[in-house]
Structure 1
């Protein structure tokens, strides 16, 4: 009997020790300019290590309606930069973004923002055709166009998805437009909480999980 009791105590101790030594979910990192590749950050922001937030903005969505910061209060969102005539990484990115939308279908606290880098081509009508072709729910997934200078300023000074040198040249190289393949996760306080390769399904799987973490964290 004594041996049995000792054995049970030992097993219980192992279980308790296992529970307390398991890694706990860490909060998602808060990104500041100092945490981003230096080539993506303008010099006046490069040393900023605290307090970065996405600047206020307002553009026009695929339904011809103004959409921006005021509509995102209390929301978690993912942002990307793309253009509708892109034949390289954009189709893959937006196929992956469709998976993100499906994972949070009907969740009002989560939004997706797709900013164009080619507003001369990507009119409201063009964005509507593209959005419909990707099954976008216009209440959740907003394709945004507007003034090129404003779009590029937001990309390079808030989201850090466009190199300053490229932005100064308006991002054009021949008939192409330079932008990264990253999706950017933003919390309800307008802070960047993650970067994810939008062409990599495994990275997008992680994004889908991290969105849930944020929604739970900020509930």
Structure 2
């Protein structure tokens, strides 16, 4: 716990925000998002809840900011792989995206909670900020994919970028089963949950690309 004086200068405000985000990331590495309360986050960072709310609109805004940072970091990692190392084949592109995302557990956790939880308790002002950042990140992923398949066009590439979030949001909860469910899956000889996540994401994204290419006339 850190004993903070009230931030008055812009640099101090920035430092407080960074401390809160760093702490949120540490806690998310330890437990699911649903188990992290604003009070626990405040206690861990060494601030009262009211002081945390001086820097962020809500608990949800903290984690949306973290989501944006994790999303940007993932794109920074994916871009050189997707643009320079992967052939222009739907399965190869889908596999590269799926494998890369599987290594970013916090991003997947946050994506799975974004629409149903995190976007439910933010102000209009912060929603504008977050959605603006989201749009830029989605456009960046779409541009990478369109570089491989120009025929799908801007709309098709944008649809694919959006489908990444939708499929991750649906699959990720199953990648973190309870101990009882994990035991039964092992007894049934099923692949491990992380393996199922990669397989499901790859297949879903590959099918998206194949469909978009077919609709564009195979170009």
Name the one with the larger helix percent. Answer: 2
User: Whose radius of gyration is greater, 1 or 2?
Assistant: 1
TM-score bracket, shorter-length normalisation: under 0.3
What TM-score does the superposition give when structure 2 sets the normalisation length?
0.22
TM-score normalised by L of structure 1: 0.22
Q: Relative CO higher for 1 or 2, CA cutoff 8 Å, sep ≥ 6? A: 1
